[in-house]
Structure 1
Amino acid sequence: YKDLAEKGYYNRVISGNVTQTVEIDSVKCDFDQYPYKVNTYARQLIVRESSLTVRSLVTSCRLLNATRSDNNPHGFIIEAFTITKNKDLQTVKR
């Protein structure tokens, strides 16, 4: 978050009137080995004034056990979050 904020990413999204939505298709968790390996498969929709872009989004991370709290009801910490694929599938002019 801090890296993107320092590079002005969020300011450009706001000033460019861009809306982003992530639709999760599936999540694969390997609970046989600790730390738990997780892959998430999703579609990202980016709506701009001039176009709609659909992307394939695949991410990976590790989950570490943590104490449950009001701020962390699932009791996990995400570690080594990586975007492994972020490929444009379709762009439609508006």
Structure 2
Amino acid sequence: MTSTLTAPHPSPRDSAATAGLVVRTEQAGLTLVLHTLPGGARYLATLLDAAPHLDLMGCIAGNDVVLAVCRSWNGARRVLRRVHDEAAPDR
């Protein structure tokens, strides 16, 4: 585990910190289930919640799963792009 996973207020643009964190994603409408490495869900939810451009209503985090509810289909695509391709800027 790296020290970046315990940062209290991560930057929404801290792409390197999320690299490899998400292991699987599932989508049901505007609801996303993001599976992370053990212990990574809270950190990922904090990153996503801090990024207003993602059009996210909110996240609920467990140990290794984040439930994210999006406001729109575009928002869902932005979140998925963010967690799958952290190095690419959000558009």
- TM-score, structure 1 as length reference: 0.31
- More helix as a share of residues: 2
State the structure with more CA Rg.
Answer: 1
- More strand as a share of residues: 1
- Structure with the bigger RCO (C-alpha within 8 Å, sep 6+) is 2
- TM-score, structure 2 as length reference: 0.32
